[in-house]
Amino acid sequence: MINNQFLVFVKKEFAHVLRDRKTLLVLFGLPVMQILIFGFALTNEVKNASIVVLDQAKDHQSQRLIGRIGASRYFDIEGAVDDEEAIEQNLRSGKVKMALVIPSGFSYDLAHRNKAGLRIIADASDPNTANTLSNYLSSIIMDEQAELNANVPVPYTIIPEMRMLYNPQLKGVHNFVPGVMALVLMLVCVMMTAISIVREKETGTMEILLVSPFKPLLVILSKAVPYLLLSLVNVGTILLLSVFVLDLPVNGSILLLLAESTMFIITCLSIGLFISVKAQSQQTAMLISLMGMMLPTILFSGFMFPIENMPKPLQAITNIVPSRWYYIIVKSIMIKGLGFQAIWKETAILAGMAVFLTLVSLKNFKIRLE
Amino acid sequence: METVIKTHELTKRYGDFIAANAISLEVYKGEIFGFLGANGAGKTTAMRMLCGLSTPSSGSAEIAGYDIYRQTEQVKKNIGYMSQKFSLYEDLTVMENIRFFGGIYGLGSKDIRLKGQALIKQLGLESEEKKLVGSLPLGWKQKLAFSVAILHSPKIVFLDEPTGGVDPLTRRQFWDLIYEAADRGITIFVTTHYMDEAEYCGRLSIMVDGNVKALDTPSALKEQYHATSMDDVFYELARGAKRSE
């Protein structure tokens, strides 16, 4: 019986969302728009980037590799240099984006130890380009390695060592996809939940629900379910766009990423619930969601502005912004390819926030009903 | 006669303010009970306590034989409620609203279909069945809201100023629905401003400043206050009111 009531309610919530064209547009159009705008504004594909090579090996193996790089459409070999100082000069001039150093023992190491190192030095003052270029170069090196390994018993390993000059941590840009994910989920979950509950208060239907035998807890749950599902659709859209349109792969486990996103969505839903308990009108709910959630997400999650550079009091504030933690989680999984051990602390913080907010709102919600 | 609402000194205080003061009354099965009072007299407060939307500060009440403190679930199953604000979902169709409210009261889908069709036929809404409720005129919405409120055949239905803002003809049609429901044994507990509606009630009470000042049939009240209409009775009682909006 309860199940049936619950389904009837969830169905009704879906009808509300799907019938409201404007909401739908915001719900599904926004993530696509943001990803595309950010994507093409920030990561324009880099073609024919100038690269210099310091070939200390000067043998067949190294020539092969250089040839392969020169043949790719991403790189133009500007020339060979003789020492590290020349590399530095070239990079500083700004004409050259990247340098490759092939150490003298390259072929020897490959032949005798089955692994050899390479050094890649990039100008990271434009961190996005640097990142893209080092990804390109690494994949060219991996291709070379695969070809070498085609007919040898013990596989060779080439280990490129990256060095980002001028901006070693790639601060400021990172990859914006985690930021957009946090932003979109925050917007959809917090605002939509808050508004949909407050709307029932405004129109008087909430009273009818409270007079009915339908449990208040179920009212909240059935509001949460549609937005949870719709938000997961959004996560999926963003990931698909980022992988297929922007060529930004998910390096870690996708399942883990989805699980963590669900956790963040639940946190957002609990914030939305909290706002809806306090707000009396849809406008208030929307304003609180926008000012109280969107702005902190943009300012304090580390997405636009690096937290390390903020004054201490602001750094303290960032701790209570849920998207800050989610942003770290997504970055760790998507970009660094880390597992759960690396992010359990952030996950626990999000879970704690969700539990706390839900308990506080439920308590207030009940009082209101009585 | 079976008593379906029984309150004893039911009181609601907000700090020093006594919104409803020691209300004691009995309402019988199948009765149309009018609950009158000026704005701010406390009738909505009293009604909200009876519906379980607000917890009384003191006093006791039984609804359909169930205690409002301890047996809230049973109370909820046995009452219907229609609030001042129009309260169906405007972005759902007529039939969807019926299905939703039937559903949250735990009616089976077959039951909902049968009752829903009967309801639509009774209201003459056959051609509007698939239209969004928001597109219907206010009078029809109110009639629909009332029919939905009694869809689960409650013992009592509480109506909080159900006919606000509609013309006298539509009000009359609305009352026809109320009579029909009362004939089926549903007790009607209705608050109103309109004195012509007061005349339609079997018995009524008049609240002034949180207290029930009078309770009887319309004709007995008119006799008691030597008045020719309910308007005069109401004026006579409400004249001494200290609270008003």
Summarised one tens digit per residue, pLDDT across range B116-160 is 999 999 888 889 889 999 999 888 898 999 999 999 999 999 999
CB-based contact, A207 to chain B, within 8 Å: yes
By a Cβ cutoff of 8 Å, what residues of chain B touch chain A?
51-55, 73, 76-77, 79-92, 96, 99-101, 103-106, 149, 158
Is residue B245 assigned to a domain?
no
Q: Which residues of A touch B106 (CB under 8 A)?
A: 1, 4-5, 213
CB pairs under 8 A between A and B: 78
**Closest chain A C-alpha to B110 CA, distance in angstroms:** 13
The pLDDT assigned to A172 comes to 41
The pLDDT assigned to A176 comes to 75
Distance in angstroms (rounded) separating the CA atoms of residues A76 and A66: 11
Residue A168: pLDDT band with limits 50, 70, 90: low
Location of structure tokens 């359990």: A344
The pLDDT assigned to B149 comes to 93
CATH code: domain of residue B127: 3.40.50.300
**Closest chain B C-alpha to A200 CA, distance in angstroms:** 9
Residue B179: pLDDT band with limits 50, 70, 90: very high
How many domains, chain B?
1
**Closest chain A C-alpha to B240 CA, distance in angstroms:** 32
The residue segments making up the domain with residue B103 are 3-238
Location of structure tokens 């400021």: A172
- Residue of chain A whose Cα is closest to the Cα of B134: A203
pLDDT at A369 over 60: no
In chain A, where the domains are located:
2-41+174-369, 49-165
Residue A171: pLDDT band with limits 50, 70, 90: very low
Q: A196: Cβ–Cβ under 8 A, 6 or more apart, which residues?
A: A13, A16, A223, A227, A276
Is A49-165 assigned to CATH 3.40.1710.10?
A: yes
CB-based contact, A367 to chain B, within 8 Å: no
**Closest chain B C-alpha to A286 CA, distance in angstroms:** 20
Closest Cβ opposite residue A210 in set B53, B89, B158: B53
Distance in angstroms (rounded) separating the CA atoms of residues B61 and B64: 10
Chain A residues 6-35 with a CB less than 8 Å from chain B: 7-9, 11-12, 15-16, 19-20
pLDDT at A203 over 50: yes
Distance in angstroms (rounded) separating the CA atoms of residues B47 and B213: 16
A205 and B87 within 8 Å at the Cβ level: the answer is yes
Task: State the CB neighbour count (10 A cutoff) for residue A370.
Answer: 13
Task: State the CB neighbour count (10 A cutoff) for residue A331.
Answer: 19
CB-based contact, A212 to chain B, within 8 Å: yes
